[in-house]
A and B are shown apart, each in its own frame.
Chain A
Amino acid sequence: MKQIRIFDEKFVSLVKKTTMNTNLQNKGNDAQGKPDHGEDNEKIITLVIVVNTTPTTVKINENAPLKAAAEKALEQTHNTGRPLSDYELKLNDQVLDMNKKVKDYGLKDGTELFLSLKAGTGGAN
């Protein structure tokens, strides 16, 4: 009985080591974006972008930068003639960095974003 228990412990240890190595290898594959993990990279989400109070729906890959979604929204609402840098994209009145990816802000399907043309110089000095 005692010999059998020793064998069991060695066997369990061997199985643990093998499992760890396999997990490490899988993690490495993930980092390299192997095709068998490609589903995550292709996730498309639908955003509602309100351009100067006109809402429009934009489908976008969550790995794309927000500026791609903003440009689509401007095109769809025929707001041309001004560069994207003249606009601000907001979520709940907080200005978003349009160079960041859609997924960086954890945006979900149907999230409402507000794209506004910045106001020119005015007001009291």
Chain B
Amino acid sequence: MEQINPAIVIEVAPAVSLASASANLQIIDPAVSQAKFEEETKLFLNSAGLHRKRGIIVLDCSFPNIKLAFCARQIIPAPVVFAVNINYTNYDMEALSVKFINPFTFELITLQELRHNFSRKVPIGNGQMRRQNLALGLPDGTPFICLPGIREYHKHSDHSNDPWLTHRGKGGEGTLGFIVDKLHQYGIAAINGYHLPLTIPEVLLGIDLNKLPS
């Protein structure tokens, strides 16, 4: 039986898979993620006035999270359409995580509570377009935006062939600026008013009480 020389035994730490890492478990040097957080948020906050004019309001900003509310300022009264928590844990080894929250309590909300589809037009040939929903739900009901550059997209089993590392650092895709721009583009820009779905009430015959037989 072959003996192992104890001098050359190397302890191997259990492999940590990026895919299995929890959203809150920082597995790369936190200084890297924090430096990127500070760089991107500083750039964003420098023009906070410009973003506010578009209806994007900063609710809170402290590493590793920035919380933003998106309002449809083009309609009156202007509603807070949705709010998000953008998380920098493991960025930019992993993409930024985008989760929908209640803008007042910061609690995570479900797809049902979001009540917004984040639609875009996609061509289907012959000059025809169809509407495509970008806000989808995970099995636990958590909503996410199904677009490359967002962590929840890249971690989804349907997109295992489109890893984040093929997008990272290319033209700003996946940066805070890119994500905020897409959330505004698909979540706010096309809103043009309130839609009140009305059902036609049941038509009843008018009755003259004086003519009613006893």
- Chain A interface residues toward B at CB < 8 A: 50-55, 74, 77, 79-82, 86-87, 93, 112, 114, 116-117, 119-124
A87: chain B residues at CB < 8 Å are: 171
Name A120's closest neighbour in chain B (CB-CB). Answer: B148
Name A74's closest neighbour in chain B (CB-CB). Answer: B171
| A-B complex: 5 closest residue pairs judged by Cβ atoms | A82-B171, A52-B177, A120-B148, A53-B177, A122-B147
Q: Contact between A117 and B133 (Cβ–Cβ < 8 Å)? A: no
Q: C-beta contact mask, B183-214 vs A, less than 8 Å → 1, else 0?
A: 00110010000000000000000000000000
A51: chain B residues at CB < 8 Å are: 172, 177
A77: chain B residues at CB < 8 Å are: 172
Q: Contact between A124 and B148 (Cβ–Cβ < 8 Å)? A: no
Q: Give the docked Cα–Cα distance between A116 and B171 (Å).
A: 10
Q: Give the docked Cα–Cα distance between A52 and B180 (Å).
A: 8
Q: Contact between A119 and B182 (Cβ–Cβ < 8 Å)? A: yes
Q: Give the docked Cα–Cα distance between A27 and B76 (Å).
A: 50
Confirm or deny: B51 has a beta carbon within 8 angstroms of a beta carbon on chain A: yes
Instruction: Offer 14 A-B interface pairs, CB within 8 angstroms, sorted by A.
Output: A52-B175, A52-B177, A53-B180, A53-B181, A54-B43, A54-B177, A55-B50, A79-B171, A114-B181, A117-B178, A119-B120, A119-B149, A122-B146, A122-B153
Q: Contact between B178 and A124 (Cβ–Cβ < 8 Å)? A: no
Confirm or deny: B170 has a beta carbon within 8 angstroms of a beta carbon on chain A: yes
Q: Give the tally of cross-chain contacts (CB within 8 A).
A: 83
Q: Give the docked Cα–Cα distance between A67 and B106 (Å).
A: 41
Q: Contact between A123 and B146 (Cβ–Cβ < 8 Å)? A: yes
B172: chain A residues at CB < 8 Å are: 51-52, 77, 79, 82, 117
- Chain B interface residues toward A at CB < 8 A: 43-44, 47, 50-51, 120, 122, 132-134, 136, 145-149, 153, 159, 162, 167, 169-173, 175-178, 180-182, 185-186, 189
Most buried by B among A53, A121, A124: A53
A79: chain B residues at CB < 8 Å are: 171-172
- Dominant secondary structure of chain A at its interface with chain B: loop
A93: chain B residues at CB < 8 Å are: 189
* A123-B148 contact given A52-B178, A53-B51, CB 8 Å threshold: no
Q: Contact between B47 and A55 (Cβ–Cβ < 8 Å)? A: yes
What's the least CB distance linking A52 to chain B, in Å? 4
What's the least CB distance linking B159 to chain A, in Å? 8
What's the least CB distance linking B123 to chain A, in Å? 12
Q: Contact between B47 and A119 (Cβ–Cβ < 8 Å)? A: no
Q: Contact between B120 and A117 (Cβ–Cβ < 8 Å)? A: no
Name B180's closest neighbour in chain A (CB-CB). Answer: A53
Name B120's closest neighbour in chain A (CB-CB). Answer: A123
What's the least CB distance linking A94 to chain B, in Å? 10
Q: Contact between A123 and B47 (Cβ–Cβ < 8 Å)? A: no
A116: chain B residues at CB < 8 Å are: 178, 181-182, 185
Q: Give the docked Cα–Cα distance between A54 and B20 (Å).
A: 33
A117: chain B residues at CB < 8 Å are: 171-173, 178, 181
